[in-house]
Amino acid sequence: MVFRDAQGDEVRLPGGVIVLLDPTWTAVQVEEFFSGNNIAPARVSEMGWIGNGFVVDTEPGLAALLLANTLVGQPGVEMSSPHVETDLVGR
């Protein structure tokens, strides 16, 4: 499956979803959010350099896109995006 960005360039979805949650949420609220979305704690890694920023492990491709789309727009979700790789060679 080929994915394209807004400019029409081909991109790869190697797996993973970047999620930024409300920075005022407590650890308990974060845990409840992931649990409520059937995301096991073992799949969640803190980004560390941004408060309440996480990477959720997924299969590559469509699985990452679908999860990102499921999470975006939910209360407390400030951003949800699949991890995207582009080939910038020749630009």
DSSP codes joined into one string, 43-86? GEEE-SSSTTEEEE---STHHHHHHHHHHTTSTTEEEEEE--EE
Looking at residue 49, its pLDDT comes to 86
Looking at residue 3, its pLDDT comes to 86
Burial class (CB in 10 A: 0-12, 13-18, 19+), 63: middle
- Could you give the CA distance from residue 35 to residue 13 in angstroms, rounded to a whole number? 24
Question: Spelled out in words, what is the top-level CATH class assigned to the domain 13-85?
Answer: alpha beta
Low-confidence ranges of the chain (pLDDT < 70): 88-91
| Domain ranges across the chain | 13-85
pLDDT tens figures, 65-82: 999 999 999 999 999 999
Looking at residue 57, its pLDDT comes to 98
Looking at residue 37, its pLDDT comes to 98
